[in-house]
Each structure stands twice: as C-alpha cells, then as structure tokens.
Amino acid sequence: MEKVLKTKKKIRFQDCDPFNHLNNAKYLEYFINTREDQIAEHYDLDIFKYLKETGLSWVVASSQISYIRPAFTMETTLIESQLIEYRDNALLVEMKMWNENETELKAILWIRFIHYNIATKKSANHSDDLMQLFQSVVVPVEQSIFENRCLEVVQKLKSGVPA
C-alpha cells in the first residue's frame, strides 16, 4: 500500500490573484480536495460514504502552512500527502505542493484532523480497522514542530537530498 500519495492538479484562473499566483486561501482547498480524492482512490476510504454509514467523520482542528514559491495560473502542480502521526481520535497529515517535475517546492502544510461524531458533537475514537490502516501507511517525521520541519525540508532541497 502506498504511503506517500501523489496527484497532479492544474491551478485554475478563478483561484488566482491579480499577480497570477494561487490565492493563499485556495491552497487549503487544493490540498484538502486532493487528500480526499487520494484516500478514496488508494485506501478505498470515501469519507462521505463513511459519514453516511457511521455518523463519524473528520474535522479540521488546525492547519499550518508555509508558502515557499508561488503556484501560477494554469500551472500543473504535484500534490503529495502522507499521514505523519495518528492517535486514537486524531490524525496529522503533511502535504506538499510541487511543480510538475517535483523540482520546486511551492508549499508545505500540516493539517490536524479530529475524528468526530456528528450526533454527539464530540470527538470519537477511531475503529480498530482504521487504526490498522493508519499503522500500515504512517510515515513519521523527525520534527514535531512545523517550523523546524519546513526548515529541514528546505535545507534538504538546497543540498540536493530528497525531502
């Protein structure tokens, strides 16, 4: 099972600012929509079907993003995502946006999701099946602080080491 998921996405005109850069707020939409598609395709986990069947889903608890280089109108980007940490009721996903050839990093995102029961309006523990899935795909990173992770990734890129 793939652990680092990669998808190409074209930056659309309506999502850009007057400088032809992807609008800062739109990065989150590109990242979240891509992650939803990736987990449905690669892990057979359709979060909307899961919500309908169980009354459970994930809500965004926090997000941290670092904009490294702009993404431009009609540019094809590559968005990668990986689960870097999981707990009984939470997930931490790292996402990166690259140019199409993965030679220029555009942005890094950490997004924390809380597993949530819609009926009780409280967090809920993941099932054993989900915990097994998370165990099989998690790719932990050394850094536990977002800013330190960004610095590490950028330094590796400058030295020619894959991030």
As for how many domains the chain has, the answer is 1
Residue 84 bridge partners (DSSP): none
98 token code pair: 């690259």
Give the number of other Cβ atoms within 10 Å of residue 127's Cβ: 12
Residue pLDDT, tens place only, 35-77: 999 999 999 999 999 999 999 999 999 999 999 999 999 999 9
Q: Is 85 part of any domain?
A: yes
Amino acid at 162: P
CA distance 39 to 124: 20
Q: Is 87 part of any domain?
A: yes
Q: Is 163 part of any domain?
A: no
CATH number of the domain bearing residue 12: 3.10.129.10
Q: Is 101 part of any domain?
A: yes
CA distance 38 to 43: 8
Q: Is 56 part of any domain?
A: yes
Task: Name the residue range of residue 148's domain.
Answer: 5-158
Residue pLDDT, tens place only, 94-152: 999 999 999 999 999 999 999 999 999 999 999 999 999 999 999 999 999 999 999 99
pTM: 0.96
